């Protein structure tokens, strides 16, 4: 009888295109993070894992394994068929669970009865997670070109347009699903897990062939997520470029970016304005809330840009002589053409 083989995460990632990855963890474990392209076929779902975990704590490992066997074996034929439907003929299959334990062991054993090219990932997802962390700490070696500028100057829009021109862009705020400000979460829903953010950033980097990456200047934290140390260190020491725009265009851009959220998320916006009481004072914040509720967003946005965001930004702003070049998004087409010419 054929026996599955063991494979390390390093070997699997070097030859990733040769394999189909099957993640046999539960649906919530998979949603938190997984190897890019992996197919989720849980051996035990979330509810079943909870039942097994309770038995393990109250009655011990032996009874927990017996209960798991009762759950898994009756549906093993249908379970194995789902692998055959997802895998191609003569595919090399890699099975992984959380740490390379029982779930991947059982699945790989059953599959190897029929198939020759079955591998079990040593260390499971945990080895992949360590591989990602190690990459940022030791192996990340691309140069980073960073676009700085006041809020609303069009950095995110610029990144999107440059990416459409096939420039080596990574949108950190897009990966984090947060605009990186006190209002940054509004209308966007939940942020991904830290693990998924790290993995998505890693996969974005390795998909870029250029020796450099273009990003928007960010603080270490975007919403509740942290940029990995190795990436952040290179970013704050990378080549710096300043993006400028006048206050009218900045205000219009912010209002456009938030679009329908201004009405749909009105209460949430008011709560966010109230967060600024310690910085702006209660009287000013109350006036801003009243203006937003009765007159609309334009005056409020303009005030906050000048009297909150610009002040914060300028406290941390790089000296002008540290910027390699300044670009103006008041003429976005000219700005893009200049950057593409300069960044060759």
As a whole number of angstroms, the distance between CA 81 and CA 70 comes to 19
By three-state DSSP, how is residue 21 classified?
A: strand
DSSP code at position 306: I
Strand partners, 15: none
3-state helix, strand, coil in the chain (%, to 5): 55, 15, 30
Q: Which residues contact 182 (CB under 8 A, 6 or more apart)?
A: 272, 275, 276
Reference 173, options 158, 165, 164; nearest CA is 158
Structure token pair of residue 96:
């992984």
Q: Catalytic: 97?
A: yes
DSSP code at position 114: T
As a whole number of angstroms, the distance between CA 78 and CA 56 comes to 27
As a whole number of angstroms, the distance between CA 220 and CA 236 comes to 10
Scan for tokens 């789902």, then name that residue.
82
Strand partners, 145: 214, 239
- The active-site residue out of 35, 97, 108, 227 is 97
Question: Could you give the count of Cα atoms lying within 13 Å of 102 in the half-sphere of its Cβ?
Answer: 12
Residue numbers annotated as active site? 97
């Amino acid at each position: 009888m054929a026996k599955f083989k063991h494979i390390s995460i390093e070997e699997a990632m070097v030859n990733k295109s040769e394999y189909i990855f099957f993640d046999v963890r539960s649906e919530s474990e998979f949603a938190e993070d997984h190897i890019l392209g992996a197919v989720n076929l849980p051996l035990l779902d979330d509810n079943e894992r909870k039942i097994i975990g309770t038995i393990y704590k109250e009655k011990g490992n032996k009874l927990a394994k017996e209960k798991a066997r009762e759950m898994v074996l009756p549906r093993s034929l249908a379970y194995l068929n789902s692998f055959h439907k997802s895998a191609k003929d003569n595919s090399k299959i890699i099975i992984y669970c959380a740490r390379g334990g029982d779930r991947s062991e059982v699945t790989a054993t059953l599959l190897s009865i029929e198939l020759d090219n079955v591998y079990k990932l040593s260390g499971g997802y945990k080895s992949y997670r360590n591989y990602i962390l190690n990459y940022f700490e030791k192996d990340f070696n691309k140069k980073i070109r960073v676009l700085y500028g006041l809020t609303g100057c069009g950095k995110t829009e610029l990144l999107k347009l440059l990416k459409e021109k096939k420039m080596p862009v990574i949108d950190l705020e897009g990966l984090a699903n947060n605009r990186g400000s006190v209002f940054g979460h509004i209308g966007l829903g939940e942020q991904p897990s830290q693990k998924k953010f790290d993995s998505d950033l890693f996969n974005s980097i390795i998909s870029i062939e250029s020796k450099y990456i273009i990003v928007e200047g960010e603080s270490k934290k975007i919403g509740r997520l942290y940029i990995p140390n190795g990436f952040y260190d290179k970013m704050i020491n990378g080549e710096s470029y300043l993006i400028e725009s006048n206050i009218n265009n900045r205000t219009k851009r912010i209002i456009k970016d938030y679009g329908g959220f201004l009405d749909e998320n009105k209460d949430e916006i008011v709560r966010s304005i109230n967060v600024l009481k310690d910085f702006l004072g209660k009287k000013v914040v109350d006036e801003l809330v009243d203006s937003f509720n009765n007159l609309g967003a334009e005056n409020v946005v303009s005030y906050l840009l000048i009297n909150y965001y610009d002040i914060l930004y300028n406290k941390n702003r790089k000296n002008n002589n540290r910027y390699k070049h300044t670009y103006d998004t008041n003429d976005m087409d000219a700005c893009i053409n200049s950057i593409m010419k300069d960044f060759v």
